[in-house]
């Protein structure tokens, strides 16, 4: 569905107010400009302003007080953490995301080694087998995501599961950077390299060795960082040939 001009203008207005709130220029409890002030300052219609206010309210950033106006919500600075697909637009963005994931993946692997059950091990092995059997990019992406999700569940900590689900395959750096030609031989080499890392993590979790699991997870994530740094240094772009962000 095409984006209307009004919707695009509302998007821009929402982004402007979110930026002001995030940097503290509009602290919780402060009053939003009136509709009239915004239409004059930004050159938009009242329809656009009302649409932007509705979106800000839906995100928990704005509260309306009858007869008084619109105010920044008390919890606006503490809204849920988000990383959208649009934010992961360049290799440097992916590198920052991977740096964050190192701490997450390392600790998940250690806890999984301490707490895993037989069903957790079965799920991890199933993901390993799926990666080994994968014959195309989409299958390897799904197997990779399933492996990390199984480790998250093995921690026994639902917050790890929820955060891993939030990251999802759309934010896991795209294997298409290596495989967009979909060459079967290239795909097999890459899938095997990933699975060697995964198998080392699985072996440590199986042995109930938290220290070894953390080391294996750190090696795995550090290797991913090195790959993407090499791509950045080579001037590779994080977009498919048609311009769409890789999933």
Every domain of the chain and the residues it spans: 5-78, 87-233
**Beta strand 62-65 with 69-72: parallel, antiparallel or unpaired?**
antiparallel
Fold of 87-233: 1.20.120
Count CA within 13 A, CB hemisphere, residue 80.
9
For residue 212, what pLDDT is reported? Answer: 98
8 A C-beta contact, residue 213 and residue 87: no
Q: Which residues contact 165 (CB under 8 A, 6 or more apart)?
A: 149, 152
Handedness of CA 112, 113, 119, 125 (dihedral sign): positive
The pLDDT score that the predictor gives to residue 182 is: 56
Query: Does the pTM of the predicted model rise above 0.85?
Result: no
Per-residue pLDDT of the chain (247 residues; tens, 9 = 90+): 334 566 788 889 999 999 898 888 899 999 999 999 999 999 999 999 999 999 999 888 999 998 899 999 987 766 555 665 555 557 777 788 888 899 999 999 999 999 999 999 999 999 999 999 888 777 888 888 899 999 999 999 999 998 888 776 444 554 445 444 456 777 778 788 899 999 999 999 999 999 999 999 999 999 988 988 887 787 654 444 433 333 3
* Helix, coil or strand: residue 242: coil
Helical residues (DSSP H) of the chain, grouped into ranges? 5-22, 35-42, 46-58, 91-115, 118-133, 137-154, 158-171, 176-179, 184-206, 210-233
* CATH class for the region spanning 5-78: mainly alpha
Confirm if 97 and 144 have CB atoms less than 8 A apart: no
Residue 233's region, left for phi above 0, alpha for psi from -120 to 50, else beta, is alpha
Q: What is the pLDDT of residue 60?
A: 87
Residue 162 exposed, middle or buried by CB count within 10 Å (0-12, 13-18, 19+):
exposed
Structure letter (DSSP) for residue 243:
S
- Confidence at residue 170, expressed as pLDDT on a 0 to 100 scale: 47
């Amino acid at each position: 569905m095409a984006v209307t001009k009004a919707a695009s203008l509302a998007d821009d207005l929402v982004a402007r107010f979110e930026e002001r709130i995030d940097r503290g220029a509009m602290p919780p409890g402060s009053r939003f400009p009136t509709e009239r002030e915004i239409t004059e300052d930004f050159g938009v219609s009242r329809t656009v302003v009302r649409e932007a206010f509705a979106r800000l309210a839906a995100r928990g950033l704005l509260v309306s007080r009858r007869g008084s106006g619109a105010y920044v919500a008390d919890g606006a600075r503490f809204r849920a953490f988000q990383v959208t697909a649009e934010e992961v637009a360049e290799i440097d963005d992916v590198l920052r995301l991977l740096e964050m994931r190192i701490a997450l993946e390392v600790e998940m692997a250690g806890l999984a080694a301490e707490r895993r059950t037989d069903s957790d091990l079965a799920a991890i092995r199933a993901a390993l087998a799926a990666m080994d059997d994968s014959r195309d990019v989409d299958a390897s992406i799904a197997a990779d995501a399933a492996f990390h999700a199984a480790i998250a569940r093995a921690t026994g900590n639902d917050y790890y599961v929820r955060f891993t689900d939030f990251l999802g395959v759309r934010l896991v750096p795209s294997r298409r950077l290596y495989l967009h030609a979909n060459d079967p031989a290239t795909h097999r080499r890459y899938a095997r390299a990933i699975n060697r890392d995964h198998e080392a993590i699985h072996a440590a979790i199986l042995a109930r060795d938290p220290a070894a699991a953390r080391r294996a997870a750190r090696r795995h994530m550090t290797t991913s960082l090195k790959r993407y740094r090499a791509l950045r240094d080579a001037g590779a772009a994080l977009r498919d040939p048609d311009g769409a962000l890789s999933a």
